[in-house]
Amino acid sequence: MELRHLRTIAAVARHGSFTKAAEELYLAQSAISQQIRRLETELGVEVFRRTSRKVELTAEGRVILGYAQRVLADFQAALRQADSRLIEEQAQHPELKGMGTTLTMAYQLNWQLCVLHVGDSRAYVYRDSQLHQLTEDHTLTAQLVRMGQLNAEEAGRHQLRKVITNVVGGDTAGIHVEAQALELQPNDRVLLCSDGLTEMMSNDEITAVLDALSDPEVACHTLVERANDAGGRDNITVVIAAFE
């Protein structure tokens, strides 16, 4: 299933527009229909039911997507609570003013992966020798790129590229918790990393390491070493999970 369709599933999980999204997914293209039928075979249940008038989720399908929705909502609520707690702590202890953190996390539910993100670290999925970025950078330059005011090359060397627009804590209360759920496939590898890696290595360079090294631990060490060799200007954190 293509990544753009995985994001459609994420929208279903978040917003609960089950009937409309089910129809869009089912009718989008034959590959989507095949993926749905494979999912139904593996689970032993009918997830989607097509009538003469529309496509709708069965009760079992609602449970599956509804569970992902609840997990995402629970994590989003927890992160908002953490944000409020950090702001309260700063109010009580002025020496902690500005205290905050970025966060990128992934939670596995069988073959569903829930991803939550705040800040400028990244989550990727490596599939079929291609690296797909799942998260958006919450930085000033990334926002300008999305608005069409900068291109990616300009953003990469911009003097304000380290200005983060969304953190847990920080100077003001309130965060946007980016959340999505996607279906994993056998041989997928999920990569979580800080900007210390992506500042030093391009996506093509990261992909080349993952192409060459199937062992997650070896790949992690190699990526950290390559980033340090390239200059290592920031802390470098790399986590890789393999799904077989």
**CB distance 102 to 119 below 8 Å:** yes
φ/ψ of 122, rounded to 5, equals -140, 155
Residue type, 112: Q
Tokens, residue 175: 């965060």
Whether 36 has a pLDDT exceeding 90, the answer reads no
- Residue 23 · residue 196 · CB < 8 Å: no
The predicted pLDDT at position 171 comes to: 87
* Contact between residue 170 and residue 107 where contact means Cβ atoms under 8 Å apart: no
Better-predicted residue by pLDDT, 211 or 1? 211
Q: How far apart are CA 217 and CA 239, in angstroms?
A: 8
Residue 219 phi/psi, 5-degree rounding, is -65, -40
Domains and CATH numbers, the chain: 1-99 (1.10.10), 120-165+186-242 (3.60.40.10)
pLDDT digits (tens, 9 = 90+) for 111-148: 888 999 999 999 999 999 999 999 999 987 877 778 78
CA neighbor of 133 nearest in space, from 153, 104, 102, 107: 104
User: What does the pLDDT look like over 168-211, one tens digit per residue?
Assistant: 998 888 999 999 988 889 999 999 999 999 999 999 999 999 99
- Residue 21, pLDDT > 60, answer no
Torsion, CA 229, CA 117, CA 42, CA 28, rounded to 10: -100
Do the beta carbons of residue 103 and residue 79 sit within 8 Å? yes
Nearest to 110 by CA among 47, 183, 191, 11: 183
Q: How far apart are CA 4 and CA 1, in angstroms?
A: 8
Specify whether the CB–CB gap between 174 and 228 falls below 8 A.
Answer: no
In tens, the pLDDT along 51-100 reads: 555 545 556 555 556 677 788 888 999 999 999 999 999 999 999 898 89
Q: Is the pTM of this model over 0.75?
A: no
